[in-house]
Structure 1
Amino acid sequence: MTSEVIDIFPAYRDYLQPARFKVAYGGRGSAKTRTFCTILTSNVLYHGWRVVCFREIMESIADSVYQEFVAEIERRGLDDHFEILKTEIKCKTSGGCIRFSGIKASATRLNTQKLKGFSDFDAAWLEEANPVTDESWRALIPTMRKSGSEIWVSFNPENPLENTYQRFVADPMYPPEKDGRAYCIVKKINFTDNPRFPRELQDDAELMQLSDPELYRHVYLGEPVADNALSIIKPMWVQAAIDAHLHIDGFPMTGGKIGGFDVSGGVEGDVAAPKMQDPNAIAWRYGCVLSGLEEWHDENPNAAADYAHGIVMREGLDTLHIDNIGVGASVPGELRRLEAAAKAKAISIGIPFRACRYNGWTASESPDRPDREYMPGKTHGDMFANLKAQGWGLLADRFRNTWQARNGLPYDRKQLISIPSGLPLREKLAAELSQPRRESVNGHMKVESKKSLKKRGIPSHNLADAVVMAYWEGQRSATISDEALRAA
C-alpha cells in the first residue's frame, strides 16, 4: 500500500530512529499517548511489527491502550487493513499485531508464563509506566529478546521514588548511545511541545498555575511531587526548611541532642528468592536543626542496635526514640545491655560517662496525652488515630510553621525545623517525607500504610519515620536508660 504522510511533532522525531529504549515523560497535554500510538500503528502496518502493550496490572482490556489504537485506526481510515477483535488487533495487510497484557497477575505475582509468550515481539509499550516496579522491569526487559526489539515507555511522573522514574530519569541505568547508535532515548515532553495543545486545557493550566502552582508543576510540567491535596507534608514546606536556620532571624540554635531509630522490617520475599530488606535508619537533631541521617542493612536487629549505639556514643545523644514494633521489639533490650556495658567500661578506666535515654516508640498505640487541645474545639485524641499519625502530624506542623516563617507569616519560634543543604541523604529524605498520604478513619487522621505505598510502587519511608521520632516531644514512652544504669 502507499505510505501515508504523518505529521509527527518535532519533539517526538527522535523516536523514529531505532533504539532499545524510547522513553517519554512529562505532564498532561503533551500528546505522548497519541504520538506513540501513531508511530506504533504505522510500524505494525508498514513493517509487520508485533507489539505488546503492557500495564503493571491489567484486570481487563479497558485498563489498556486498546481504545487508543481503535481510535487511531478509525481516525486514519485504516479499517480495511486491521481486524479489531475483542482483546487483540491484527493487521491483515502485514501480518503484524497488537496485544495487551499485565506484567503482573496480581500485586504480588508476576505473569511469568504469559511474559514468555512475547519473546519474539518487536516492541513492548508501557503506557502509564510510573507504577511499574523493579521486580517487573527485571522480568520484562530480558523477555524482549528478539534482535532489534524495542521497549517504549511513556508516563506522567507521580513521585521521585518510583522505580521507573529512578531507572530512566533520576539515576539513569542505561546509556544514551551504545556501539555508535542510539540506545536509550529519554525526553521530558510537556504541553509546550504540543503545537495543537487544546484551548480547554490551556485555560485549565493557566487557572491552576494561579491557584495552585505546585499542582500545576506536577500536572502540566511533569514534576514528580506528592499529591498536593493528600500529602501530609507538602514538598514546598520541606523546601522551605532547607537551611532555614540561616534564613530565619532568631532561629533557636540550642537544645537537646535527640535521635530516632527506625528498625528494618526484615527481608522481603520468599525463602527461594528473597529481596533486599528495608534499610535501618537513624536521624538525630540538635535543637531544631536536623544534624545527621544514616541508613544501613543488618538482617539481625541486635547487630543493627549495636551500630545505632555507636552513633549514639559518637554524637553524644541525650535521647533516642526507638521503633519497637515487630522485629524492633528486641532492640531496646539490646541497647539496655550495650548502655550498661559502656558505662561499666567508662567507670573502669575512670572517664565520665554520658548516659542516653532510650525510649520505646510504638506507632500503633493511641495518641500521647489525647485530652490536650490540638486546635480550638479539637483535642489530640479527636485529631489522630494513633501515635504514628500524631508524630507525622506534629512534624508536618513544624514544616508548615517553618514555611510560614520563610514567607513572612506568623509563626511559633519554638516549632521550627531546619535541614542543612549539605546533609547526606537530604534529597532522599525530602522525597520520603512528601509521599505518605493523609487517610481518615472515623474522622481521625491516619498515615497511609507501607503496604499501600508498596502497591503504588513507593518504597518504605524509613528515613522519614526516623526523623518523625527524632522530633517527637511527647511524654508517654518506655524509658529504659534508668533501668540500664541500675543494671550496670
Structure 2
Amino acid sequence: MSPATGFLTKPIEQTAPGVGHNGGPIFECPLPAIFEPFLQPARFKVSYGGRGSSKTRTVITILVNNVLYSGWRVVCFRELMEAIAESSYQEIVEEIDRRNLGAYFDITKTEITCPSSGGVFKFSGIRASSKRLQNQKLKGFSNFDAAFIDEGESITKDSWNALVPTMRKSGSEIFVCFNPASPLDFIYQAFVTDPIYPTHHNGKPYCVTLKVNYTDNPFFPQELADDAALMQKTDPELYRHVYLGEPVADSALAIIKPKWIEAAIDAHLQIKGFPMGGGKIGGMDISGGVEGDVVAPKSNDPNALAWRYGCVLSGLEEWQDENPNAAAAHAYPTVVREGLDTLHIDDIGVGASVPGEFKRLHGPNPAREISFVGWTASETPSDEDKEYQPGKTHGDMFANKKAQGWGLLGDRFRNTWQARNGLPYDPDMLISIPSGLPMRSKLEGELAQPRRESVNGRMKVESKKSLKTRGIPSHNLADAVVMAYAPVEVAVGSWFL
C-alpha cells in the first residue's frame, strides 16, 4: 500500500478565505485530505492510528492557524505532565519554525502567545494528587476555545470525566490524537469500540473520529516506508500495531494471542467441513467475587452471559445487577429462549446461590431439562487424571479449573488459526466468532489480555488484581465464554468439550 496523495489547502476552520482575525493574509498550507472533516466545527475531533500518519502534526497545523488567525486560546493536555518537555510544546515550536511564523508568536519557556490575535497555547497535565486539586487546576481553562490531548491512549476515564465539563465555552472543541495500545484502554473504548458520543447533535457534526494511517499521509518519509515494508515481512503482528494502529495485547505472554482470535472470526464460513450443530452450552459470570478472603461485590462490574451452539459462539449479553438472584432472574429467559442444554455458572463467593436459584426458576417439572452447573474457578481441573498431552495430565498442566478453562479455550483458538493457515488441526477443537456478534470487539479485547503465569510448573491465569494494576478492567465477557466452552461433565470420570 502506498501513501495517499490527496491534499487540502484550506486548513482554517472559522475564518473567511483569504483574511485572518487580524486582517492579514492567510498562509495556506497543505494537509492530508483525510482530515477534511476536522475543518468544520465539532465538539470532539479524534484521530487514531499508527506511526507516521501525521495525526499530531496535522492537528497542530490546524490549531496554530486558529491561534494566529482567530485568536484561539488552546490548552494542550497530557494525562501526566511534570515538565514542559513532556507536553506538545516542542511540536508547536517546530510547526511555527517550519512555516516561518516566528514573527507572529512570542515563545517563552512555559507558553506560546500570539500578540496580534490574543491567542495562546498553554500546557498542563490533567491528573493531580486529589480530585479537589485536579478540579482546581482544570477550572482555569474554562474560557479556552480548544483542548488538545496528544498521546490520548493514556487518558483514564476519571481524567476524561473531569476534563470535558471544564471546556464549557460556547463552541469549544476537544482534539484527541492517540496510537491504540490496549483494546481495553478507556479512550479506545469510548471512541472506537463502543462510542459514547453521537456523530451528530442538533443536526450538526458533534463527534468526528478518524482512523488515520501512514497510507493516508502524503508526507510519509521514505525512511519510514522502508521500515514499514521490512516490518510487514518480518513481524506482521507488530507491523499491524505500529503502522496500522491496531491495539494488541502482550502477545508473548497472552494465553490467547490476537492473531488466533482474528483467525476465529467467521471461521465456520471459512473452514471447509467446519462442524455445525452440537450441544447448546452457556456460561455466566456473576457480578460478585472474592478479594483476598473477603466475599464482596465487584463495584461497577457487570454480569455476563455467553452461549454457543457446538463450536460457534452464538450470543453475548452483559448487564448491571449486584443482586445475584436478580441476575439469575434476568438471565433465565435468555437461557430458555436459546434452548441451552447446560449452563455453567460462576458460583464462587456471592454466586454460590445462583445455580439453586436457576433450578428454582426452572421448577420441578420443566418442559425441557436444563443442567444448571456450578463452576468453581478455584477447584481442581475437571477429570484431572485425563491425559492432556503425552506424559502430562490435566492435573499436571493446570493449577485449577479456571486455568484449565482458559487453556482449553486457547487451544481452540490456536487450533482454528492452524486450520486457517493450512496446518494440521483437530476438527473437534475449533471455535468461530460470527463477525456480526454484538460486543464482539469488546470480547476480542478481553480474551487477549490475561497473561499466562506458572505455579510449580502448572499454568495459572493472571489475577484480576494484577490486571487492575496494569489498568485493565475485569474480563467478564471472556470469563463467560471460557465457561461456555469448558468441559461438560456427563458422567463420573468423563466429559465432552
Under a length normalisation based on structure 1, what TM-score does the superposition of the two structures give? Answer: 0.78
The partner residue of 2:376 within 344, 355, 361 is 361
Q: In the alignment, residue 89 of structure 1 is paired with which amino acid? A: E
Is the 8 Å Cα contact of residues 131 and 457 (structure 1) preserved in structure 2?
no
Counterparts of residues 15-94 of structure 1 (less than 5 Å): 15-45=38-68, 47-58=70-81, 61-72=84-95, 81-85=105-109, 88-91=110-113, 93=115
Q: In the alignment, residue 84 of structure 1 is paired with which amino acid? A: T
TM-superposed CA distance for 1:140, in Å, is: 1.9
Q: In the alignment, residue 451 of structure 2 is paired with which amino acid? A: R
Alignment correspondent of 1:132? 155
The partner residue of 2:221 within 198, 201, 217 is 198
Higher mean C-alpha displacement, 95-104 vs 199-208: 95-104
Counterparts of residues 345-424 of structure 1 (less than 5 Å): 346=365, 354=369, 356-362=371-377, 364=378, 386-421=400-435, 423-424=437-438
Cα distance in 1, alignment partners of residues 85 and 352 from structure 2:
46
Alignment correspondent of 1:438? 451
Give the direction of change, closer, same or farther, for the CA distance of 1:131–1:475 in structure 2 (3 Å limit).
farther
Give the direction of change, closer, same or farther, for the CA distance of 1:376–1:168 in structure 2 (3 Å limit).
same
TM-superposed CA distance for 1:384, in Å, is: 5.0
The partner residue of 2:31 within 9, 12, 30 is 9
TM-superposed CA distance for 1:453, in Å, is: 5.1
Cα distance in 2, alignment partners of residues 176 and 195 from structure 1:
27
Higher mean C-alpha displacement, 249-258 vs 125-134: 249-258
Cα distance in 1, alignment partners of residues 428 and 396 from structure 2:
24
Counterparts of residues 156-167 of structure 1 (less than 5 Å): 156-167=179-190
Q: Secondary structure at the match of 2:152?
A: coil
Give the direction of change, closer, same or farther, for the CA distance of 1:357–1:120 in structure 2 (3 Å limit).
closer
Q: Which runs of 5+ in 2 are unaligned?
A: 1-21, 290-296
1:146-183 per-position Cα deviation (integer Å, ceiling 9, x unaligned): 23322111112335554434444455555656677654
Give the direction of change, closer, same or farther, for the CA distance of 1:206–1:316 in structure 2 (3 Å limit).
same
* 1:463 pairs with 2:497: no
TM-superposed CA distance for 1:5, in Å, is: 4.2
Higher mean C-alpha displacement, 280-289 vs 406-415: 280-289
Alignment correspondent of 1:270? none
Is the 8 Å Cα contact of residues 361 and 477 (structure 1) preserved in structure 2?
no
Q: Secondary structure at the match of 2:229?
A: helix
Is the 8 Å Cα contact of residues 29 and 194 (structure 1) preserved in structure 2?
yes
TM-superposed CA distance for 1:323, in Å, is: 1.5
TM-superposed CA distance for 1:415, in Å, is: 1.4
Q: In the alignment, residue 174 of structure 2 is paired with which amino acid? A: I
Q: In the alignment, residue 217 of structure 2 is paired with which amino acid? A: N
CA RMSD of aligned residues (A): 4.1
Is the 8 Å Cα contact of residues 284 and 306 (structure 2) preserved in structure 1?
yes
Q: In the alignment, residue 164 of structure 2 is paired with which amino acid? A: I
Give the direction of change, closer, same or farther, for the CA distance of 1:36–1:252 in structure 2 (3 Å limit).
closer
TM-superposed CA distance for 1:232, in Å, is: 3.1
Counterparts of residues 263-302 of structure 1 (less than 5 Å): 263-265=286-288, 277-302=300-325
Cα distance in 2, alignment partners of residues 118 and 370 from structure 1:
61
Give the direction of change, closer, same or farther, for the CA distance of 1:455–1:314 in structure 2 (3 Å limit).
same
Alignment correspondent of 1:114? 137
TM-superposed CA distance for 1:16, in Å, is: 4.7
Is the 8 Å Cα contact of residues 163 and 457 (structure 1) preserved in structure 2?
no
Under a length normalisation based on structure 2, what TM-score does the superposition of the two structures give? Answer: 0.76
Give the direction of change, closer, same or farther, for the CA distance of 1:258–1:409 in structure 2 (3 Å limit).
same
Alignment correspondent of 2:125? 102
Q: Secondary structure at the match of 2:406?
A: helix
The alignment covers a number of residue pairs equal to: 460
Is the 8 Å Cα contact of residues 288 and 298 (structure 2) preserved in structure 1?
no
TM-superposed CA distance for 1:309, in Å, is: 4.1
1:265-308 per-position Cα deviation (integer Å, ceiling 9, x unaligned): 49xxxxxxx99833211222343333433333322111112333
Alignment correspondent of 1:486? none
1:213-241 per-position Cα deviation (integer Å, ceiling 9, x unaligned): 34323321223454544543234423433
TM-superposed CA distance for 1:204, in Å, is: 1.6
Cα distance in 2, alignment partners of residues 247 and 16 from structure 1:
42
1:110-160 per-position Cα deviation (integer Å, ceiling 9, x unaligned): 822222221012211111223434444333222111233221111123355
Cα distance in 2, alignment partners of residues 315 and 180 from structure 1:
40
Q: Which runs of 5+ in 1 are unaligned?
A: 267-273, 480-488
The partner residue of 2:146 within 114, 120, 123 is 123
Is the 8 Å Cα contact of residues 409 and 482 (structure 2) preserved in structure 1?
yes
Alignment correspondent of 1:322? 345
TM-superposed CA distance for 1:263, in Å, is: 0.5
Q: Secondary structure at the match of 2:326?
A: helix
1:340-375 per-position Cα deviation (integer Å, ceiling 9, x unaligned): xx12xx1xxxx776251513322x456567777655
Cα distance in 1, alignment partners of residues 459 and 315 from structure 2:
29
Is the 8 Å Cα contact of residues 293 and 425 (structure 1) preserved in structure 2?
yes
The partner residue of 1:237 within 249, 254, 260 is 260
TM-superposed CA distance for 1:212, in Å, is: 3.2
- Share of identical aligned residues, percent? 65
Cα distance in 2, alignment partners of residues 311 and 249 from structure 1:
31
Alignment correspondent of 1:484? none
Q: Secondary structure at the match of 2:78?
A: strand
Cα distance in 2, alignment partners of residues 108 and 476 from structure 1:
54
Is the 8 Å Cα contact of residues 280 and 342 (structure 2) preserved in structure 1?
yes
Is the 8 Å Cα contact of residues 64 and 100 (structure 1) preserved in structure 2?
yes
TM-superposed CA distance for 1:380, in Å, is: 5.5
Q: In the alignment, residue 143 of structure 2 is paired with which amino acid? A: D
Q: Secondary structure at the match of 1:321?
A: strand
